[in-house]
């Protein structure tokens, strides 16, 4: 049985992470880097023993079974519209799109064409995330009480000036919330369930000539009566590891930089952790991330193609983050609590 052939659309930081991770994915082979600038794509492809192709040429190849879309957020739907009719499977970077309407169109197209759609939220594959989710699913922690996301990172002005799409709401889908905090927001929703309402305050506190927020504070009420909060920023120097504090009826857990740094519960059979260390974090460097969870996510996506099943993080799972991001922005613009 031949390997599942993969093409990556884009040649930015996310693309390089996927290309590195694919080296360790069983039953998959990186075939091509796809981009409008073929010279830039060729330079990128050389690093990973792949070829550079235009999208049109890539779609003609029988050895390419799936595409990873790692382009600016607001272009994802455009690529899906072109690729899906060729029955190629799709893994789309977070967020799935820049707003809920475009996200729903993207999902509908994939369903209509009968192709597999996966969303990139690799931190669900972190050991800490899997451990806490297992405890929740086994009802070892009791009902959720309060969950807090802290993503206090730093990006210089060049982060936005070097990629102007990051400045634009329609192209990026938001600022610190969409591009930096969305992984942690995904985990909060995965652990605590569906949000019922949100209220937010968004600011551009430091950076110049950008439409998107670089600082945000959000309050959340969940359908299970738990409360949540999000503090996200790209204006906090020098940048600190992302942190997720989870408080339940029977104990508390803290995940920092992808590692479980604190765990204490009423269950004597569960481990106690009080002095854990934070893991790899993109607090000040977008490239400083752990590749292993990305490899695990890609392995699940490749296996889902071979087994003709949904990946663990499918389009509808990816939609949940866009839904709350949309509500957060509406709350800020309308200055009121938004019910989801």
Question: Helices (DSSP H) in 47-176: which residue ranges?
Answer: 55-59, 76-83, 100-113, 127-137, 157-161, 169-172
Residues present in the chain in total: 340
> What CATH number should be reported for the domain holding residue 192?
3.30.360.10
Q: Are strands 28-34 and 4-9 parallel, antiparallel or unpaired?
A: parallel
Q: Are 142 and 225 found together in one domain?
A: yes
The number of domains in the chain is: 2
Q: Are 108 and 177 found together in one domain?
A: no
Q: Could you report the per-residue pLDDT of 266-281, keeping only the tens digit for each?
A: 999 999 999 877 766 7
Helix axes 13-22, 38-46, angle to 10 degrees: 40
Buried b (16+ CB within 10 A) or exposed e, 67-89: bbbbbbbbbbbebbeebbeeebb
Cα–Cα dist 256/125, whole Å: 15
Q: Are 133 and 281 found together in one domain?
A: yes
Q: Check residue 284 and give its pLDDT.
A: 60
Q: Check residue 287 and give its pLDDT.
A: 65
Cα–Cα dist 199/105, whole Å: 26
Cα–Cα dist 287/10, whole Å: 16
Q: Are 263 and 242 found together in one domain?
A: yes
Q: Are 92 and 127 found together in one domain?
A: no
Q: Are 230 and 110 found together in one domain?
A: no
What is the reported pTM? 0.96
Q: Check residue 280 and give its pLDDT.
A: 64
Could you tell me which residues come within 8 angstroms of residue 156 by beta carbon, excluding any fewer than 6 positions away? none
Q: Could you report the per-residue pLDDT of 279-319, keeping only the tens digit for each?
A: 667 666 776 688 999 999 999 999 999 999 999 999 999 99
Q: Could you report the per-residue pLDDT of 201-255, keeping only the tens digit for each?
A: 999 999 999 999 999 999 999 999 999 999 999 999 999 999 999 999 999 999 9
80 neighbors 91 (Cβ within 8 angstroms):
no
pLDDT at residue 340 is higher than 70: yes
Cα–Cα dist 315/306, whole Å: 18
Q: Check residue 252 and give its pLDDT.
A: 98
pLDDT at residue 36 is higher than 80: yes
Q: Are 220 and 250 found together in one domain?
A: yes
Q: Are 76 and 104 found together in one domain?
A: yes
Q: Are 176 and 243 found together in one domain?
A: yes
Mean of the per-residue pLDDT values of the chain:
96
pLDDT band at 20 (very low <50, low <70, confident <90, very high): very high
Cα–Cα dist 92/318, whole Å: 9
Q: How many CB atoms within 10 Å of residue 206?
A: 17
Q: Whose CA is closest to 316, among 152, 92, 158?
A: 92
Q: Check residue 279 and give its pLDDT.
A: 65
Percent of the chain with pLDDT over 90: 95
Instruction: State mean pLDDT over 109-126.
Output: 98
Q: Coil, strand or helix: which one is 38? A: helix
Stretch (H or E) spanning 318: helix 315-334
Q: Are 46 and 180 found together in one domain?
A: no
Q: Are 102 and 149 found together in one domain?
A: no
* Backbone dihedral region for residue 144 (phi beyond 0: left; psi -120 to 50: alpha; all else: beta): beta
Q: Are 118 and 92 found together in one domain?
A: yes
Cα–Cα dist 107/117, whole Å: 8
Q: Check residue 1 and give its pLDDT.
A: 80
Strand partners, 126: none
50 neighbors 33 (Cβ within 8 angstroms):
yes
Q: Check residue 80 and give its pLDDT.
A: 98
Range of the domain at 15: 4-122+293-314
Instruction: State mean pLDDT over 101-109.
Output: 98
């Amino acid at each position: 049985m031949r390997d599942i052939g993969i093409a990556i659309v884009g040649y930015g930081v996310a693309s390089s992470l996927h290309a590195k991770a694919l080296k360790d994915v069983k039953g998959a082979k990186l075939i091509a880097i796809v981009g409008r600038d073929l010279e830039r794509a060729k330079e990128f492809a050389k690093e990973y023993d792949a070829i550079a192709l235009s999208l049109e040429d890539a779609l003609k190849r029988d050895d390419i079974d799936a595409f990873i879309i790692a382009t600016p957020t607001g272009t994802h739907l455009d690529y899906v519209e072109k690729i899906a009719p060729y029955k190629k499977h799709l893994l789309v970077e977070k967020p799935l799109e820049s707003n809920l309407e475009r996200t729903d169109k993207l999902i509908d197209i994939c369903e209509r064409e009968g192709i597999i759609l996966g969303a990139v939220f690799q931190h669900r594959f972190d050991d800490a995330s899997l451990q806490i989710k297992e405890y929740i699913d086994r009802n070892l922690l009791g009902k959720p009480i309060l969950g807090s996301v802290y993503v206090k990172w730093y990006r210089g002005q060049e982060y936005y000036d070097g990629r102007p799409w990051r400045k634009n709401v329609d192209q990026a889908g938001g600022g610190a919330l969409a591009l930096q905090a969305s992984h942690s927001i995904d985990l909060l929703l995965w652990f605590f369930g569906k949000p019922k309402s949100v209220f937010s305050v968004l600011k551009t506190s430091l950076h110049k000539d950008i439409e998107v927020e670089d600082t945000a504070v959000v309050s959340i009420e969940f359908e299970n009566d738990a409360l949540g909060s999000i503090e996200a920023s790209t204006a906090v120097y020098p940048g600190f590891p992302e942190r997720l504090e989870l408080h339940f009826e029977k104990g508390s857990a803290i995940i920092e930089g992808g590692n479980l740094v604190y765990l204490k519960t009423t269950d004597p059979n569960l481990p106690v952790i009080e002095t854990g260390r934070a893991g790899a974090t993109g607090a000040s460097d977008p490239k400083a991330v752990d590749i292993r969870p990305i490899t695990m996510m890609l392995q699940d996506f490749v296996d889902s193609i071979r087994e003709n099943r949904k990946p663990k993080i499918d389009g509808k799972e990816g939609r949940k983050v866009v839904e709350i991001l949309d509500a957060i922005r509406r709350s800020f613009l309308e200055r009121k609590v938004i019910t989801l």
